């Protein structure tokens, strides 16, 4: 799953990763919140999590490293082969072929099981590599990509071109970093371990989907099908380029949930045009769905749009745990720089309420949201058209933090609308899932941190990403920890000129493909050795 | 100018016409209105205007009638020739050719002056016919048409086909009723008077524009150019099919003004993304222009969207005059039927506040409005896209009644937004003009009513149309009365299968082309004879 803040067009560096252990016991809620009473997050500890205190992984796997160095051209060609295979899920373009390519690659690596798995949507791919090991690692993959922007590309998006870039030689293509590049780099590492005679230290269960860019609507079907097998794994890895353009490494240990829905006003038996727009002059005697939607929306927030006025909406939000607070405290040393980079990358001069420092982190990671993704009604072209539209719609999402749930969030919004006289407003749920979280103490997370440390990086570890991904299928359904990360850098996900660095400029801290693969080798062995 | 309520896709019958004499003396305002205090329109007289009290025109012009009957095929062909000439102003398609066709037609009729007049937009056409008469009639024309809907047409929109219709044989084409049909029918009548030797009773000044469907942005330029000539006219005629599908005739004596503008919220130095959308998860710490616009909009009206909450917005609205009240009382006898037809045609089950009877008329014709024509922000496609848009826009119009003005209306809205903390909201004026009105006592209006009476119709006369047209250029700039009307029926303006009846079914009260033309002959003579 693409971690959402990575997808901003400015490509600002966001510390990414995850690790799981559900905070099931952390159900103490904040004091009951009334409408318009934001949660507050006072600091209760000055202790900090320090990633530098995690011992660096000390193993060495020279056969695998040598195999990688000797086969780098072929490994690069593997990434090119993957990005050249179109797999645009939204347009059903190349999806079946890409699923088959992934299955065939797993077979070629020696996976005992490798199959395309039908769903009610695009198919998944299942693979099982039996190393005869004590531990099993589940690997989440996505094989689909976003549609290609019609303009702005310097190369053809499916050519798999290696081009010169300020950061070095990069693979520039749709899917280069989101997500084919790091995923195939991980499989290159697996190949190196197997083919070099190093010997795989863990069994692997790969479960890939072709609908991540559609919001993973059928991934739960796949999970359900392999649930009993997956539950035997030690945890879940999502291979991902974890470095920013400056080489810095960030990890996140959880994601917010989301509920995405539409609010709609239409003419009905109580008033307004029922079947089609009418002339604008009729406003004098005709109810307007566009005004109704506007008023209903406005009732949901404070005038600045930043406080949710829905009774009880903030109530379930629990206090940050001590571990979360320690992680936040640990983020503070590099936060001012990151925050400034974010604002510059996003074109935002000032956060809400002029937030700075720790307050920004807390609001960003621990607070829920209500966001208008889009709204539309009537005539939206140039100039003048005088109509009273019969329908008005808004696309809203709310990011959910523990212990919010999609259905309860919608229930509260429905109750609010009814209470304020907007029972005519239609709520249409589109998708939703709960948040997910992994503890920084999970062996999988400590293995990842320790491997970063071996390569000279001390990751900034965030308790959560402000974005969303349906990791609950791992953390809640399977009760497995999840970690997302790896060395390597790319940017431009969901944008023109998406790239992944293959060969960095001399002096850069960004890993090239060879180091990215060696990192995955070490990480697998580190996990196998973890208590 | 197309009178707007005629353009509703359901083509419900609205009594149309106009007549002028500015109510300059009627500047008594309602008691000062505070925000949210709607104007009320209590009944102060039970007297009614009765169109049946206007004597029927008694003249007869047999040479012209005979000419019309003898040349009906050629006259029909004139209408077909006009609609076959594309003249889509919004797409600059055929506009020059249509202007030239009109000019050439005027020349062929014997107009001493006939010229295409450049403006900074599409050209106008000026024509002067010197009958050596004491009186001069100005004729407003529009020669442009709306774009053609891609689907829904039973015939090709520019074929000029004569087809069978429940009402009889009709000309079905873009422009058939809006406005080429009635305009060319009027010129056929002029031809009949001239060529039959009947002798034109009035001089004619034709001033046509090719931008009515764009909101007449450059018509004031044309008026300015011919102002001194036009001021010598007795009044202005706008040829228009004045009958409903049941044959009933309606007239309106004025129009509301309008101010059309956009409200826009954008990220700026105070917060929100300035240059592009950002990821939706950033709502937690980022101001949202979409919420800002929503809140600003919502502040403008009551929760039902029907009362304007802007301080002073209702204040300039004057009381209905005694003449207006008499006209409203006169409308009451047929109002229940018209109202039911309107609601059915529009697909509206219930007017605002459950209005009925006189209250509906008063609100419809005497109250101002604030209407959302369209609004948009961010992602408006199917499914899920998680963004925080950097810009949100709404298209708003306000219909203006005496003594509101476009600039004062915008000034009040600006002051309201500033007062309520929305000084960041941009107001972008697109167009605007004041209302216009003609007295029912104007000789031009009485001639129109008297001519209807000769043909057996007693028009329902409304003091005003709820829609808008820039008739102020005639009533205010030129101080001329204006009347819009004529016999004949058409529908489907701005919609597929636009038509005008050429040969009605036997027993129908709708006039065919021949009677439509004879009506214009009589109307011209009636006006010439008026004191």
pLDDT in tens, B71-114: 999 999 999 999 999 999 999 999 999 999 999 999 999 999 99
SS3 B500: strand
Confidence of residue B37 (pLDDT cuts 50, 70, 90): confident
Mutate to test the interface with A, among B351, B360, B375 (most CBs of A within 10 A): B375
Q: Over pLDDT 70: what percentage of chain B?
A: 93
DSSP class of B475:
I
The yes-or-no verdict on residue B5 having pLDDT over 60 is: no
pLDDT, greater one: B333 or A71: A71
**Complex-level ipTM:** 0.88
Can you give the pLDDT at residue B336? 93
Can you give the pLDDT at residue B215? 81
Can you give the pLDDT at residue B510? 98
Interval B439-497: pLDDT, tens: 999 999 999 999 999 999 999 999 999 999 889 999 999 999 999 999 999 999 888 99
Can you give the pLDDT at residue B25? 28
The yes-or-no verdict on residue B275 having pLDDT over 50 is: yes
Can you give the pLDDT at residue B495? 86
Measuring CA to CA, which residue among A252, A183, A261 is closest to residue A215?
A261
Tell me which chain B residue has its CA closest to the CA of residue A376: B376
The yes-or-no verdict on residue A96 having pLDDT over 60 is: yes
Can you give the pLDDT at residue A199? 97
- In this complex, which of B260, B294, B375 lies closest to A298 when CB atoms are compared? B294
- In this complex, which of B260, B348, B386 lies closest to A373 when CB atoms are compared? B386
The yes-or-no verdict on residue B1 having pLDDT over 50 is: no
Q: Is the dihedral of CA A504, A509, A510, A514 positive or negative?
A: positive
**In Å, how far are A23, A401, B117, B393 from A468, measured between CA atoms?**
17, 10, 62, 28
The yes-or-no verdict on residue B214 having pLDDT over 70 is: yes
Can you give the pLDDT at residue A33? 41
SS3 B165: strand
* Tokens standing for residue A331: 């983020």
Can you give the pLDDT at residue A189? 98
Alpha helices by DSSP H, A35-94: 62-70, 72-84
Alpha-carbon distance of A480 to A101, in angstroms, equals 28
Average pLDDT over residues A192-216: 95
- Residue B46 has a CB neighbour count (10 Å cut-off) of 8
Quote the mean pLDDT of chain B: 92
Residue A254: Cβ-neighbour burial (10 angstroms; 0-12, 13-18, 19+): buried
Interval A284-325: pLDDT, tens: 999 999 999 999 999 999 999 999 999 999 999 999 999 999
- B contacts of A282 (beta carbons < 8 Å): 5, 8, 346, 348, 364, 466
Chain Cα centroid distance, residue A105: 25
Name all domains of chain A by residue range, CATH numbers in brackets. Answer: 4-28+51-253+438-529 (3.40.630.10), 256-312+369-433 (3.30.70.360)
- B contacts of A351 (beta carbons < 8 Å): 271, 285-286
Alpha-carbon distance of A417 to A300, in angstroms, equals 8
Can you give the pLDDT at residue B179? 97
- A contacts of B384 (beta carbons < 8 Å): 214-215, 260, 395, 397, 430-431
Alpha-carbon distance of B174 to B337, in angstroms, equals 29
* Tokens standing for residue A526: 């580190």
Alpha-carbon distance of A214 to A145, in angstroms, equals 10
Measuring CA to CA, which residue among A491, A487, A493, A503 is closest to residue A164?
A503
Hey, are the CB atoms on A274 and B8 less than 8 Å from each other? no
Can you give the pLDDT at residue B20? 25
Interval A249-271: pLDDT, tens: 999 999 999 999 999 999 999 99
Hey, are the CB atoms on B379 and A372 less than 8 Å from each other? no
Q: Give B235 to chain A, closest Cα distance, Å.
A: 26
The yes-or-no verdict on residue A1 having pLDDT over 50 is: no
Alpha-carbon distance of B188 to B170, in angstroms, equals 17
DSSP class of B91:
G
Quote the mean pLDDT of chain A: 92
Parallel, antiparallel, or unpaired: how do β-strands B436-437 and B465-468 relate? unpaired
Confidence of residue B24 (pLDDT cuts 50, 70, 90): very low
pTM to 2 decimal places: 0.87
Rg (CA), chain A: 24
Can you give the pLDDT at residue B29? 36
Alpha-carbon distance of B355 to B343, in angstroms, equals 12
The yes-or-no verdict on residue A9 having pLDDT over 60 is: no
- A contacts of B417 (beta carbons < 8 Å): none
Hey, are the CB atoms on B380 and A395 less than 8 Å from each other? yes
- B contacts of A369 (beta carbons < 8 Å): 280-281, 283-284
Contacts 24+ apart (CB under 8 A), B44-48: B44/B322, B44/B325, B45/B322, B45/B325, B45/B326, B45/B329, B46/B329, B47/B322, B47/B325, B47/B326, B47/B329, B48/B326, B48/B329, B48/B330, B48/B332
Confidence of residue B12 (pLDDT cuts 50, 70, 90): very low
Alpha helices by DSSP H, A50-159: 62-70, 72-84, 95-109
Hey, are the CB atoms on A284 and B421 less than 8 Å from each other? no
Interval B251-264: pLDDT, tens: 999 999 999 999 99
Q: Over pLDDT 90: what percentage of chain A?
A: 87
Tell me which chain A residue has its CA closest to the CA of residue B258: A281
When mean pLDDT is compared across A142-151, A165-174, B25-34, B45-54, the lowest value belongs to B25-34
Rg (CA), chain B: 24
Can you give the pLDDT at residue A384? 84
Can you give the pLDDT at residue B487? 98
Average pLDDT over residues B316-326: 97
Confidence of residue B16 (pLDDT cuts 50, 70, 90): very low
* Tokens standing for residue B388: 């925080």
SS3 B462: strand
DSSP class of A271:
B
């Amino acid at each position: 799953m693409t971690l959402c803040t990575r997808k901003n067009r400015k490509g600002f560096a966001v510390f990414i990763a995850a690790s799981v252990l559900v905070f099931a016991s952390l159900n103490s809620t904040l004091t009951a919140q009334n409408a318009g009473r934001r949660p507050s997050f006072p600091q209760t500890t000055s202790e900090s999590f320090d990633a530098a205190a995690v011992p660096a992984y000390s193993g060495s796997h020279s056969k695998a490293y040598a195999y990688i160095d000797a086969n780098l051209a072929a490994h690069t060609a593997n990434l090119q082969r993957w990005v050249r295979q179109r797999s645009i899920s939204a347009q059903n373009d190349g999806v079946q072929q890409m699923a088959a390519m992934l299955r065939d690659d797993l077979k070629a690596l020696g996976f005992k099981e490798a199959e395309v798995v039908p769903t009610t949507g695009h198919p998944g791919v299942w693979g099982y590599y039996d190393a005869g090991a004590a531990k099993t690692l589940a690997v989440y993959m996505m094989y689909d990509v976003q549609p290609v922007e019609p303009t702005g590309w310097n190369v053809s998006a499916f050519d798999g071109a290696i081009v010169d870039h300020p950061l070095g030689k990069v693979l520039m293509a749709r899917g280069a970093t989101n997500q084919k590049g790091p995923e195939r780099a991980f499989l290159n590492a697996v190949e190196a371990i197997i083919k070099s005679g190093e010997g795989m230290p863990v069994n692997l269960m790969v479960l890939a989907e072709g609908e991540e860019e559609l919001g993973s609507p059928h991934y739960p079907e796949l999970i359900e099908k392999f649930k009993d097998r997956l539950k035997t794994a030690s945890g879940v890895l999502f291979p991902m380029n974890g470095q920013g353009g400056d080489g810095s490494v960030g990890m996140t240990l959880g994601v917010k949930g989301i509920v995405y829905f539409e609010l709609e006003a239409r003419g009905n038996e109580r008033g307004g045009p029922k079947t089609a727009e009418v002339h604008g002059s009729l406003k004098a005697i005709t109810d307007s769905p566009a005004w109704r939607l506007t008023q209903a929306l406005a009732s949901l927030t404070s005038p600045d749009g930043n406080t949710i006025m829905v009774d009880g909406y903030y109530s379930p939000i629990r206090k940050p745990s001590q571990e979360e607070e320690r992680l936040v405290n640990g983020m503070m040393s590099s936060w001012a720089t990151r925050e400034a980079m974010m604002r510059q990358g996003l074109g935002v001069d000032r956060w809400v309420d002029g937030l700075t420092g720790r307050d920004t982190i807390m609001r960003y990671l621990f607070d829920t949201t209500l966001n208008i993704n889009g709204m539309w009604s009537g005539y939206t072209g140039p100039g003048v058209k005088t109509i009273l539209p019969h329908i008005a719609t808004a696309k809203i999402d709310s990011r959910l933090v523990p212990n919010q749930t999609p259905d309860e969030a919608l229930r509260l919004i429905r109750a609010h609308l009814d209470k304020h006289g907007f029972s005519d407003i239609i709520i249409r749920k589109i998708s939703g899932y709960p948040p997910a979280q992994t503890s920084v103490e999970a062996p999988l997370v400590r293995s990842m941190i320790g491997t970063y440390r071996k390569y000279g990086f001390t990751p900034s570890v965030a308790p959560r990403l402000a974005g969303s991904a349906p990791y609950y299928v791992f953390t809640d359904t399977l009760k497995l920890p999840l970690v997302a990360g790896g060395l390597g850098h790319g940017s431009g996900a969901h944008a023109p000129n998406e790239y992944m660095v293959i060969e960095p400029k001399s002096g850069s801290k960004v890993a090239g493909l060879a180091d990215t693969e060696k990192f995955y080798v070490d990480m697998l062995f580190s996990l196998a050795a973890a208590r």
